[in-house]
Amino acid sequence: MTTPNVSFEFFPPKTLEASFKLWETAKVLAPLAPDFVSVTYGAGGTTRKLTHEAVTTINRQFGLQVAAHLTCVEATRAETMEIVQSYADAGITQIVALRGDAPKGADRFTPHDDGFANSVELIEAIAARGDMTIRCGAYPEPHPDSADGDADVTWLKRKIEAGATSAITQFFFEPETFFRFRDKCVAAGIDAPIIPGLLPVQSWAGTKRFAATCNTTVPDWAEEAFQLAALDGPDAQRALATDLSVELCEKLIAGGVDQLHFYTLNRPELTRDVCAALGVRPKAGLEAVA
């Protein structure tokens, strides 16, 4: 089996304890030499400053390529582009450009009167600078705001044409979900890399809640498997989560996938174990810079 390239997603800490978890996560996973790591951006821009601090610190302390998430939510065009400039000033050259979710309490995304209407407009503006690598989101199952899966393919094509050079998918449970989406994208003329996004199950209840918010189908077999594992305790659940993640990754690799993106939830052990099973192991000299 070919050893894949990997990348990891972190989220910015809101407390001192969470800060320690993030730095420990980066410390554990940095030696795996990821292609890049990304840092998320809270709904409504609620973690804007925290995201900036996390991105610049990870870049400085661990020497990793960091892709900063950026959304269109509740900000003017000028404010959003000022954030891009602040990243450029800090030596950050990658952005994950997203429309973003509706602010807390709102039913749906509504553009700021002076803001970007969608991710395509955001990508076009960043691409016009000529100094950023732009990644975007992709949805193997219909986005909650999409009419159907074909609409998601159309939007992805527009994002690539606007200047995004690769896409990272929402998480999914079955390889066929990704392969069907990839086939539709190829048929639509999309030739940019589409990187599968993977969520190793840290908590089955939490994973199901997340799946419900982003329209990810939870297969019956997964529900039954985790219910049975729960009868045998946390170790059995962890073993099941590891085995299922490894199996999914192996099937993706067998189907031609050469890069995997892990949503770590700032808890590195399960992702590290899955990577080890895939042949991705630590490399010397990639520890944090003092």
Assess contact for 270 and 25: CB atoms under 8 A: no
Element (H, E) at 51: helix 48-62
Element (H, E) at 152: helix 149-162
Q: Which residue has the tokens 């429309």?
A: 99
The partner residues of 8 in beta bridges, in order of sequence, read 37, 262
d(Cα 45, Cα 100) in Å, to the nearest integer?
Answer: 9
| Spacing of C-alpha 193 from chain mean position | 14
Sequence-distant (6+) residues with CB within 8 A of 14 are 47, 50
C-beta neighbour count of 178 within 10 angstroms: 23
Active site annotation includes 9: yes
Q: What is the largest CA-CA distance in the chain?
A: 55
Q: Please pick, among 9, 74, 124, 141, the residue that the annotation labels catalytic.
A: 9
Assess contact for 271 and 29: CB atoms under 8 A: yes
The partner residues of 94 in beta bridges, in order of sequence, read 67, 133
R_g (Cα) of the chain, nearest Å: 18
Structure tokens at 160: 């690539």
Size of the chain, expressed as the number of residues it contains: 290
Among all residues, which ones are annotated catalytic? 9
